[in-house]
Amino acid sequence: MTADPKTYDYSRPTHSCDVVMKGGITSGVVYPHAVCELAQTYRLRNVGGTSAGAIAAAAAAAAELGRDDDGFKKLAALPGWISAGDNLFSLFQPQPGTRRLFRFLMAGLGSPRGRVLRLLRAAVTSFPLAVLAGALPGAALVVLTALFAESTVMLVAGIAGGLLLLCIGLVLGLIAGVLRALGSVPANEFGLCSGLPSDGRPALTPWLGGVMDDLAGRTESDDPLTFGDLEDAGIRLELMTTNLTNRRPHKLPWETREFFFDPGEFRRLFPERIVAWLEDHPPPEPDTPAGRRDWKLRCALLSPLLPLPAAEDLPVIVATRMSLSFPVLLSAVPLWSIDASRTANQRALETWRRWAREHPDEAPGAGGPAERPTPERLWFSDGGISSNFPVHFFDAALPRRPTFAINLRPFHPDRRRSEDERENVYLPAGSGGGLLEWWYRFPEGGGLGALSAFAQSVVRTMQNRVDEAQMRVPGYRDRVAHVSLTKDEGGMNLTMPTEVIVALTSRGQHAAAALVDRFAKPPAKPGDLSWDSHRWTRFRSALAAIAELAASFHEGYAAPPDQPGDRTYADLSARTEDEHPAAYRWAGRAQRRLGEDLVAEVDSAAAVLAAANPTTLEEGAPRPRPELRLAPRD
Enzyme catalytic residues: 51, 382
Q: What backbone torsions phi and psi does residue 562 show, to the nearest 5 degrees?
A: -75, -35
CA–CA gap between residue 447 and residue 158 (Å, rounded): 32
Torsion of CA 167, 173, 178, 184, to 10 degrees: -170
Distance CA(30)–CA(20), nearest Å, equals 13
Cα separation of 53 and 59, whole Å? 10
**Are the C-beta atoms of 171 and 180 separated by less than 8 Å?**
no
Residue 316 is classified by DSSP as H
CB–CB of 595/573 below 8 Å? Answer: yes
Q: Residue 212 in contact with residue 316, Cβ under 8 Å?
A: yes
Burial class (CB in 10 A: 0-12, 13-18, 19+), 352: buried
DSSP 109: S
**Whole-angstrom distance, CA of residue 7 vs CA of residue 320:** 28
Whether residue 491 contacts residue 26, with contact meaning beta carbons closer than 8 Å, is answered with yes
Question: What is the torsional sign of CA 307, 312, 318, 324?
Answer: positive
Contact 50, 466 (CB under 8 A): no
* Residue 332 vs residues 152, 157, 188, 325, 558: alpha-carbon distances, Å: 59, 51, 9, 6, 51
Quote the CA–CA distance of 18 and 49 in Å, as a whole number. Answer: 11
3-state secondary structure 421-478: HHHHEECCCCCCCCCCCCCCCCCCCCHHHHHHHHHHHHHHHHHHHHHHHHHCCCCCHH
Residues forming a β-bridge with 584: none
| Distance between CA atoms of residues 357 and 354, nearest Å | 5
Alpha carbon distance 380, 242 (integer Å): 5
Instruction: Compute how many other C-beta atoms are within 10 angstroms of the C-beta atom of residue 143.
Output: 13
Query: Which H helix or E strand runs over 375?
Result: strand 375-381
The dihedral sign for the CA sequence 309, 310, 314, 318: positive
Distance CA 489, CA 475 (A): 30
Query: Do the beta carbons of residue 318 and residue 274 sit within 8 Å?
Result: yes
> What are the start-end ranges of the E strands in 302-368?
306-307, 328-330, 333-338
Count of C-beta atoms within a 10 Å radius of residue 179: 10
Cis preceding-peptide flag for 375 (omega within 30 of 0): no
CB atoms within 10 A of CB 114: 11
User: Quick check: 31 and 56 in contact, CB under 8 A?
Assistant: yes
Backbone phi, then psi, for 218, in 5-degree steps?
-120, 170
- 42-50 and 191-193 strand pairing: unpaired
Question: φ and ψ at 483, to 5 degrees?
Answer: -105, 125
Under DSSP, the state recorded for 288 is S
